[in-house]
Amino acid sequence: MKKLVLVIAIALMAMASAFSTTDPPYAHYLLGYVDSATDFTVTILENVLPFDLEGSEVAYNSSDTIVRGLRVGTYTLISNSTGFSFYIAHTPLELVANSGSEDGGTRTRIDYRLYMILNESSQKFKSCTFDANASDPKNAGKKIEIGASDFSTAPDFSDFKVISIINNSIYVSLDEGSQASTETAVSALKAGNYESTIYFLLEGN
């Protein structure tokens, strides 16, 4: 029985190997789809993590139209169907227990605004703060929902569109509702390491 499982695993690896990322033999990819398809990938820029909660880069952003924050990742979204929905929601940044000295404050969590850039040149974006139901992003109260209608400039082939969003940026800035409350919250945080989970769900047809 063990041997049978091994054989199946090898077969699945063979199917998946065409999409494996290797460095450096394959510098570019050419993707093609038969029938409708949607897909996404998210890359977190680990070289900026953990970021400094007191850094100016992640300070409260008072603008509703301009993104000011720390670039923490990128995402790629590809679809040749208009019938897709991409949901994103996240938890707050919460203190990891027994991390650091945990002195200097009373608060153990802080909210932030997550920005998903829809168009890098126009800086069109969608954003959201944390939601308690973030692990179910489709049904979260505060979430980002991205659909085909958000990309009006995509070529329209009568009944379907081809959407190709490659490595668009993901930003974060701390957000407790206002600049004053955010600054107060930051100064009241316990010292230590904080962690947040961002959930992604893509439904396509």
Indicate the residue among 51 and 160 with the shorter CB distance to other proteins. Answer: 51
Nearest of 184, 195, 188 to residue 102 by alpha carbon:
188
User: Site residues for other proteins, window 15-54 (CB under 8 A)?
Assistant: 15-17, 19-25, 38-54
Q: Which of 68, 147, 168, 192 binds other proteins (CB under 8 A)?
A: 192
Answer yes or no whether residue 160 interacts with other proteins by CB under 8 A. no
Answer yes or no whether residue 76 interacts with other proteins by CB under 8 A. no
Shortest approach of other proteins to residue 151 CB, angstroms?
19
Shortest approach of other proteins to residue 65 CB, angstroms?
23
- Spatial separation of the C-alpha atoms in residues 102 and 175, rounded to whole Å: 21
- Spatial separation of the C-alpha atoms in residues 61 and 148, rounded to whole Å: 27
Tokens for 7, please give them: 């054989």
Tokens for 28, please give them: 């570019």
Indicate the residue among 54 and 156 with the shorter CB distance to other proteins. Answer: 54
Q: Are 114 and 169 in contact (CB under 8 A)?
A: no
Cα 30 to Cα 33, 62, 76, distances in angstroms = 10, 41, 14
Which residues here bind other proteins, judged by CB under 8 A? 6, 9-10, 12-17, 19-25, 38-58, 70, 72-73, 93, 99-101, 103-105, 172, 186, 189-205
